[in-house]
């Protein structure tokens, strides 16, 4: 049975599990599910706000993980980044069933950029946490708009309506917010 309890797996544990899943190890897949399904279900629920739809998406997400495990290493992502990106994009595709798909980059690209070394990956993972700090430097409603677009899957039009500003104004806000975030993250 799964030997990792929910949320207890370290990034290194997850790396090892991903390597075993790539070799079609079903026990490893079950461990990954135990370790990460609650986080990924939380992400899907946040986007969809509907348990039945989120359950469907969670199943689809783990099927993708199993079927695309060999693609994971190419991204250079940490396991949680890869898993959450798949979960978030799959949930958003469900939300906008008729709209444009938010494919994973690897759907589009055949070229593989050189992945980072483990040291670089660790540095990157630590540094990625600065996004929260940098969001804190934006005005509160602009940070909320960025979060709304990523976590709730709002379109520009929806955030514009939410904050009662014209669509083009919202586009400008968001682009300026992303520009500020980028400067903060690069500093």
Partner 1 sequence: MPGVLTSRFDISPEMGVLAAEYVLGTMSSETRAAFETRLTDEPALVEEVRAWEAYFATMADIEVEEVAPPERVQRALEAELFGAPEIAVDAVAQSIWEKVSFWRGLSLATSAVAVLALGVAVLPVLQPPQPGGEPVVPETGIPAGTILMTHLIPTEDSTLGLAVTREPSGQLQVRRVAGDMTAGRAQELWLIVGENAPVSLGLLGEDPLTTIDPDPQIAQLFEVGAALAISDEPLGGSPTGAPTGAVLALGTLVAL
Out of 76, 122, 144, 165, the residue judged to bind partner 1 by CB under 8 A: 76
Distance separating alpha carbons of residues 138 and 186, to the nearest angstrom: 15
Residue 89 lies near partner 1 (rule: CB under 8 A): yes
Out of 5, 23, 98, 100, the residue judged to bind partner 1 by CB under 8 A: 100
97: nearest Cα among 146, 145, 47 = 47
Q: Which of these segments, 15-23, 127-135, 160-168, binds partner 1 (CB under 8 A)?
A: 127-135
**Torsion angle (degrees, nearest 10) of CA 83, 40, 58, 157:** -90
Distances in Å between the Cα of 121 and the Cα atoms of 76, 81, 158, 166, 186 are: 8, 11, 35, 40, 16
Shortest Cβ distance from residue 164 to partner 1 (Å)? 19
Shortest Cβ distance from residue 16 to partner 1 (Å)? 19
64: nearest Cα among 106, 111, 35, 96 = 106
Out of 132, 140, 164, 166, the residue judged to bind partner 1 by CB under 8 A: 132
68: nearest Cα among 25, 21, 26 = 21
Q: How many CA atoms lie within 13 A of 112 on its CB side?
A: 11
32: nearest Cα among 58, 55, 52 = 58
Residue 102 lies near partner 1 (rule: CB under 8 A): yes
Q: Measured from the CB atom, is 42 or 118 closer to partner 1?
A: 42
For the CA atoms of the chain, what is the radius of gyration?
18
Number of chain positions touching partner 1 (CB under 8 A)? 65
Residue 91 lies near partner 1 (rule: CB under 8 A): no
- Residues near partner 1 (CB under 8 A): 6-7, 26, 33, 37-39, 41-43, 45-46, 54-55, 58-59, 62-63, 66, 75-78, 80-82, 84-85, 88-89, 92, 100, 102, 105, 108-111, 113, 123-125, 127-129, 131-132, 135, 147, 149-151, 153, 155-156, 174-175, 178-179, 181-183, 185-187
């Amino acid at each position: 049975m799964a030997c990792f309890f929910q949320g207890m797996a370290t990034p290194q544990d997850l790396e090892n599990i991903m390597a075993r899943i790539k070799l079609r190890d079903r026990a490893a897949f079950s461990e990954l599910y135990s370790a990460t399904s609650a986080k990924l279900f939380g992400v899907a629920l946040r986007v969809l706000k509907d348990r039945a739809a989120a359950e469907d998406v969670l199943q689809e997400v783990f099927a993708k993980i199993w079927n695309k495990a060999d693609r994971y290493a190419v991204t250079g992502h940490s396991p949680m980044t890869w898993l959450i990106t798949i979960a978030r994009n799959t949930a958003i595709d469900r939300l906008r069933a008729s709209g444009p798909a938010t494919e994973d980059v690897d759907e589009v690209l055949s070229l593989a950029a050189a992945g980072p070394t483990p040291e670089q990956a660790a540095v990157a993972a630590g540094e990625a946490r600065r996004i929260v700090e940098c969001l804190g430097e934006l005005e509160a409603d602009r940070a909320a708009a960025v979060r709304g677009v990523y976590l709730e899957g709002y379109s520009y039009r929806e955030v514009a309506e939410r904050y009662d500003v014209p669509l083009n104004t919202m586009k400008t806000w968001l682009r300026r917010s992303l520009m500020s975030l980028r400067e903060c993250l690069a500093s």
